[in-house]
Structures are given as C-alpha cells and as structure tokens.
Structure 1
Amino acid sequence: CLHCIIGEDRNTFLGHIYNSLVENGVFFVSSLCAKDSNSYEITKNDHVYRHVSSQQSLITELEQSGFRVVTANVYERDEINHITIHAVKVVYS
C-alpha cells in the first residue's frame, strides 16, 4: 500500500522498485486516493502516517519515476477513495 510510504521515502522506494524490474516489468500499485485533486497527509499523535495522493499526482509521481501507467482504477469510498494502478517500467535510451 503506497499510502503507507511517507515523504522522501516515496522517491527512494519507487527508485528501488524501478531498479528491481526488467524492462516492461509490471508494478501493481494499491493505495488510498483523495476524493478530489488535493493530496494530503493523515497524522496520528502528531506524526504523519499516511500520504493520500490525488489520482493525477500519483500518476505523475509514477511517470516521473520511470513508469508508464497502463490502467488506473479509482474505487469510490465514503471517506477516502482507493486506487489500483497497473504500471510498467520504461527504459529510455
């Protein structure tokens, strides 16, 4: 669940995933997703413990990390939506 990875750890995590995959390797993402275009963080006891991206910001984050998004499905929920994304590693020459 990508929403559990916070701050700069997200870039590190996505870099490790990218480097672990072969060209066209599949990365399946499951995450909480904002109901609008605003990403935000959830805190508990004054500590950030969830990052809730908007659909577009999550797709942009994946693309900037070298992935091509094949499909993105948002599932409407009462408070926070859920998103699944099928992405593949792109190798640029």
Structure 2
Amino acid sequence: MPQAAVIRTTLMWLEAVQLLPPLLARMLELGCGNGMSSSYLMAKRGFEIHGIDISHVAIDWARERFAQENIIGNFHHGDVRSMPFFSNCFFDLVFDGSCLHCLIGEGRDRCLREVRRILRPRGVFVVSSMCGAPKSEDALRHFDPATGHLRKDGKPYRTLKAKESIEAELSPAGFRLVCSSLNVNPWWDHATIVCTH
C-alpha cells in the first residue's frame, strides 16, 4: 500500500475511534520532507501544521509547495532528537513521517522523549516506520539482525526493528499503545502504531 494510502487509512481510523483531534488542532510531522504527505492532508482538513526535517532542501520545498497551494504551514529545519523551539504540551497530534527508522541507538530514545514533552496530555502520536528485516538480498547483506541496523558504507543508517520491538520502545517513553498494524511489502514491512500520551 502506498504511503499516502496508509496515512489516509490511519486518519480515517483515528476519526472513527474519536482520537483525531478537532479542527484547528496543532499537528507536527517528524521528518516532513517536502510537506506533501501527512502535513498536506491535515492542512487540507483545517489543522495548524508544523513540520520538522533535518534537510534544509526539504524544508525549502515544503515552504514552496505550501505557498504554491496557498496553504499555511510552519516548517522548521531541525533535529527531531532535540526540539527546543517547541514548548511543552504544544501539539495535539504528532505524526512520524517515516522518520523513526532513520534514527540509531540513543537517538531514538531522545526523539521519543522529545515527542512526549511536546505532546499535550491525551495527545496522539502516530509512528509510521519501516520494520523487520529487509527482504532484498542486497539489503540483507548490509543488515545486522542483532541490532536491527541497516548499514551503508559500514555505518548504521536505518533501524529496522520488528513491530513488537518498536511498540516496546514506546511504553518506557511514556506512551500508551492504542493499536497497530503491519503493511507487508516486497522490500520491507511497514508498521503503523498509534499511541497516546
């Protein structure tokens, strides 16, 4: 299932179980890229959109795309492991735009602590992450199942944990699991995990 379809399905489910915050609520997309994923869909629904990405180029694209569509969005260049420009309990919804699997080791814990800090009580955190061992032979040659790290040029650059292992990371960070699903793909699987603060 394409990422946009996964996002739409997740949003419909959140709405059905009354976990989708009301209109005009604040949403942050972690790893927002060009802003045309969950940020765009939620902006069209009337949410106050914020996005963060480590890439200056991606943030510039997001700002340009939103301006072209005449949509308001607040896009920040920054690191999801430390977001001091956001105050405590600022967001109603935080959506991981396939960012968590790009973090390695302690960086994952730091990101989860920051999300908990900036998410209001009873706010919703949606994790959208690659998970499990890669399925291509080439990627498997660069995968360490003991750590879940996918390596490039000898250095870890992705963390591909089983869905259950990702869920286990969320509880110590202060999140309560609501539901999760697994989307099976030819190259790697993709987990969508919904939790609350």
Question: Which TM-score bucket, shorter chain as reference?
Answer: 0.7 to 0.9
TM-score normalised by length of structure 2:
0.42
TM alignment of 1:43-62, pairs within 5 A: 43-62=151-170
The structure carrying a bigger strand percent of its residues is: 1
CA distance in 2, matches of 1:16, 1:60: 17
The structure carrying a bigger helix percent of its residues is: 2
2:195 — aligned with what?
87
- DSSP-derived class of the 1:22 partner: strand
Alignment root-mean-square deviation, CA: 1.3
2:113 — aligned with what?
15
CA distance in 2, matches of 1:6, 1:46: 14
Gaps of 5+ in 1: none
1:41 to 149, 155, 158: 149
Moved over 3 A (4+): none
2:129 — aligned with what?
31
CA distance in 2, matches of 1:13, 1:73: 22
Q: Which has the larger radius of gyration?
A: 2
Give the superposition deviation at 1:47: 1.0
Paired AA for residue 29 in structure 1: V
Identity of aligned residues (%): 33
Paired AA for residue 157 in structure 2: Y
Structure showing greater relative contact order (alpha-carbon pairs closer than 8 Å, 6 or more residues apart)? 1
TM-score normalised by length of structure 1:
0.87
- Number of paired residues? 87
- The CA deviation string for residues 15-34 of structure 1, in whole angstroms up to 9 with x for no partner, is 00001011111111110111
Give the superposition deviation at 1:79: 3.0
Gaps of 5+ in 2: 1-97, 134-144
CA distance in 2, matches of 1:34, 1:46: 20
- DSSP-derived class of the 1:23 partner: strand
1:63 — aligned with what?
171
CA distance in 2, matches of 1:68, 1:45: 37
